[in-house]
Amino acid sequence: MRNTNTKTLILSVSVLSFVFLTSFIKIRFDKELPPLTHTGENMMACKVNGKVVIAGQNVTNASGSVRFSSAPDNELLYISCEIPSPHYEIEISIQYDDTLGVYPIINSYPYFGYFWDYTHSISPNDSNQFQPDRTHTGKVNITYNDGSIIAGTFAMEAINRKGKVVRITEGRFDIMVH
């Protein structure tokens, strides 16, 4: 009798734990992308293989951090974000001449696009580093730049050395420059 009650208790706790965790995960991934803005929200968001990820300081449901730098003399624009759960990092560096428009994401240093998936390993390896190649490409569309705020959209397909492809779609960023 005692053994049956213990099994029932363990089963009940397991079912309740499963229900709780799956509802948490659903809430985590069912977020909506924030709207396209150009107000200095310091955010970067996109869908990674269809799942919404958001990084930023002033955005509801955001986690992680957003980084920005530019080197106007070198026509370089760098944006990146790191999201702690799931542990992703996106880095984009493009040749940028301070005009609005579409810029390709290429892999020719110092210009590049990377997607890092650290959910299974925090050490860079062949499985978690993805980047565009000749078949899998990306682009950044700078839609706003007033010298203080830069905003736009991005999309990228990237592949790892094992042939797995990640699709980053509906990307957007809105970053305070100064």
pTM, to two decimals? 0.75
Number of domains comprising the chain:
2
pLDDT of residue 109: 78
pLDDT of residue 20: 33
Domain harbouring 150, CATH code: 2.40.160
- The range of the structural domain enclosing residue 90 comes to 34-176
- For 2: left if phi > 0, alpha if psi spans -120 to 50, otherwise beta; the answer is alpha
The verdict on 25 and 44 lying in the same domain is no
The verdict on 18 and 57 lying in the same domain is no
The verdict on 78 and 117 lying in the same domain is yes
The verdict on 63 and 75 lying in the same domain is yes
The verdict on 26 and 66 lying in the same domain is no
Which strands form 112-117's sheet, in the order they lie side by side? 65-71, 76-84, 87-95, 112-117, 129-130
Residues in the chain: 178
What residues contact 165, with CB distance under 8 A and at least 6 apart? 130, 136, 157, 158, 159
The verdict on 70 and 107 lying in the same domain is yes
Amino acid 98 reads D
Q: How far apart are CA 105 and CA 2, in angstroms?
A: 64
The verdict on 88 and 3 lying in the same domain is no
The verdict on 83 and 10 lying in the same domain is no
The verdict on 12 and 66 lying in the same domain is no
pLDDT of residue 167: 96
For 99-127, what is each residue's pLDDT tens digit? 999 999 988 877 888 888 877 666 656 67
User: Would you give per-residue pLDDT tens digits along the chain (178 residues)?
Assistant: 555 544 443 333 333 333 333 333 222 344 789 999 999 988 999 999 999 988 886 555 555 667 778 776 668 888 888 887 778 889 899 988 889 999 999 888 778 888 888 776 666 566 788 889 889 999 999 999 998 999 999 999 999 989 999 999 999 999 988 6
The verdict on 24 and 81 lying in the same domain is no
